[in-house]
């Protein structure tokens, strides 16, 4: 079984941008129930179908498959829940770990989240200075939940 172990953090400041490279993502969800999410994603010229299980702490099962680009675009345009998630994903390395920073667009504009995948839940990590509040267990920050409750609807 494929397992994803991931911690999430809000971003503090823009210092991370100096060393990051970005790529545009367009993704949508066919299912967003907590027990399973089914996501369609276009990244560059490749389509993906991803199935994720329920989250337990920072751990969940994850299965990802490449699909024809045309199929991915068709599913995003006609089958996925709205709004779609559009973002630029930046990657950078910090003390031996690859961090992914998502700068959201559209209904989620203004939200910037950093994620780091780990080998185990107990793995110690050094936090970069731009890593702010940890939001790993806060379901509002799950991409699938940003469809039903986009960042533009959150109250300060």
| Residues recognised as catalytic | 29
Phi-psi region of 129 (alpha: psi -120 to 50; beta: other; left: phi over 0): alpha
CA distance 42 to 63: 16
Residues forming beta bridges with residue 41, ordered by sequence position: 27, 48
CA distance 48 to 41: 5
Cβ–Cβ < 8 Å for 114, 99: yes
Phi-psi region of 121 (alpha: psi -120 to 50; beta: other; left: phi over 0): alpha
Residues forming beta bridges with residue 63, ordered by sequence position: 51
> Residue 125 in 3-state DSSP?
coil
Q: Which two tokens stand for residue 38?
A: 């089914």
């Amino acid at each position: 079984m494929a397992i994803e172990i991931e911690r999430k953090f809000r971003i503090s400041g823009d210092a991370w941008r100096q060393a990051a490279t970005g790529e545009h993502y367009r993704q949508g969800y066919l299912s967003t129930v907590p027990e399973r999410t089914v996501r369609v994603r276009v990244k560059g010229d490749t389509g993906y179908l991803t199935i994720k299980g329920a989250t337990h702490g920072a751990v969940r099962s994850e299965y990802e498959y490449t699909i024809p680009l045309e199929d991915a675009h068709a599913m995003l345009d006609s089958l996925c829940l709205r709004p779609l998630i559009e973002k630029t994903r930046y990657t950078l390395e910090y003390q031996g770990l690859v961090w992914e920073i998502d700068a959201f667009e559209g209904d989620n504009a203004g939200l910037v989240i950093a994620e780091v995948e780990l080998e185990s839940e107990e793995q110690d990590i050094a936090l970069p200075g731009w890593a702010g509040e940890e939001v790993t267990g806060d379901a509002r920050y799950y991409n699938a939940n940003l469809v039903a409750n986009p960042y533009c609807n959150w109250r300060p």
